Amino acid sequence: MTTAPAKMTNNADAPLLAARDLRVTYSRRGGGTCVAVDGVTFEIARGETLGLVGESGCGKTSLGRALLGLIPVAGGNVTFDGQPIEQLRSTVLRKFRRRAQLIFQDAAASLNPRMRVGAIVADPLRVHGMARGKAARERVEATLAQVGLDVALINRYPHELSGGERQRVDIARALVLDPEFLVCDEPVSAVDACTRVALLDLLRSLQRAHQRSYLFITHDLAAASRMCDRVAVMQAGRIVELGATDRVLSNPQHPCTRQLRSAVPTF
């Protein structure tokens, strides 16, 4: 690997990512605003997986994208490795983009239908000028192998793949830059139960091997319990409960958590 996470670390004890009083708003057409994320504060340590659960439309996705600086933040701040991300400019921002990645819910939409798998996975490398030609191809193949994909798929178009394969391509694209932090936005909700288990296992093994930090967004408590060290429960843009996974899921304090829990079938 070309970049060792340890090199970039300023302080091994400090949290990798911290959000303080984060607010995200959308302006409505015809005036007025709609608050998607309303004053959220939390931290994610190195190597930790934080689960973010909540029902649809509670602001999970907005929060995840705000953390990565993909949508404008209305208030509060996010610091990544001690640096506030909204102040990042050009070259520093590009470095941050390399270290934090996003895995999508709907891989069918997140993969460009007109690019082949190889090009999709190699694109981040090309953007960052990290590898070209043969080196890039080798790295792409390695990454594909890492996510459990047949290297022969490299010349396929996304629409020629199954749902699970697509999801793995999506993960491969996120991993190819060897990031320290991943926002997994409901990465398994669009695939069948069987594939889901396999994918979750893959994500977990990838995290352990490289000591990555995850923000694992899901509305599926079973998946959360399988993946997460800590869990945050979100409702209407606020975090209503935050704690160790076992504690929150076995002994929910907030009514919303209880409600979520009762709706989930157990494995």
Partner 1 sequence: MNAGDVDMLPPRGRKRSALLLLPVLLLALVALGAPLLAWDQPIVCRHDGRLYFPALVVAGQNVPVIGGFLRRDVPFRYPDFVARSDLDATAFALWPLIRFNPDEYTDEALSPPSRAHWLGTDDRGRDVAARMLHGSTVSLRVGIFAMLLAGALGIAVGAVAGYFGGWNDGVLSRVIEATICFPALFLILAVLAWVGRGVGAVVVVIALTQWTLVARLVRAEFLRMRGADFVTAARSYGASPLWIALRHMLPGALAPATVTLVFGVADAILIEAGLSWLDFGVPAPAASWGGMLRSAYEQMRSAPHLVWPPCVAIFVSVLACHLAGVWLRGRIDPLAK
Q: Using DSSP bridges, classify how beta strands 49-53 and 213-218 pair: parallel, antiparallel or unpaired.
A: parallel
If the CB atoms of residues 110 and 213 are measured against partner 1, the closer one turns out to be: 110
SS3 of residue 113 by DSSP: coil
Stretch that binds partner 1, among 29-37, 43-51, 101-109, 241-249 (CB under 8 A): 101-109
Stretch that binds partner 1, among 31-39, 98-106, 190-198, 204-212 (CB under 8 A): 98-106
Does 114 participate in binding partner 1 (rule CB under 8 A)? yes
Does 247 participate in binding partner 1 (rule CB under 8 A)? no
Angle at 46 between CA 205 and CA 99, to 5 degrees: 80
If the CB atoms of residues 128 and 137 are measured against partner 1, the closer one turns out to be: 128
Does 60 participate in binding partner 1 (rule CB under 8 A)? no
Run of H or E residues at 189: none
- In the list 6, 70, 142, 145, the residue contacting partner 1 (rule: CB under 8 A) is 70
If the CB atoms of residues 23 and 116 are measured against partner 1, the closer one turns out to be: 116
Stretch that binds partner 1, among 10-18, 147-155, 171-179, 224-232 (CB under 8 A): 171-179
Does 131 participate in binding partner 1 (rule CB under 8 A)? no
SS3 of residue 39 by DSSP: strand
Does 32 participate in binding partner 1 (rule CB under 8 A)? no
Distance, in Å, from the CA atom of 114 to the CA atom of 75, rounded to the nearest integer, reads 37
Rounded to 10 deg, the angle between the 117-127 and 133-146 helix axes is: 120
For residue 135, the tally of other CB atoms under 10 A from its CB is 11
Does 139 participate in binding partner 1 (rule CB under 8 A)? no
Distance, in Å, from the CA atom of 131 to the CA atom of 139, rounded to the nearest integer, reads 8
Sheet of 181-185: strands edge to edge? 100-103, 181-185, 213-218, 49-53, 230-235, 238-244
Does 161 participate in binding partner 1 (rule CB under 8 A)? no
Does 94 participate in binding partner 1 (rule CB under 8 A)? yes
Judged by the rule CB under 8 A, the positions of this chain that interact with partner 1 are 65, 68, 70, 93-94, 97-98, 100-102, 104, 106, 109-115, 123-124, 127-128, 157, 159, 170, 173-174, 177
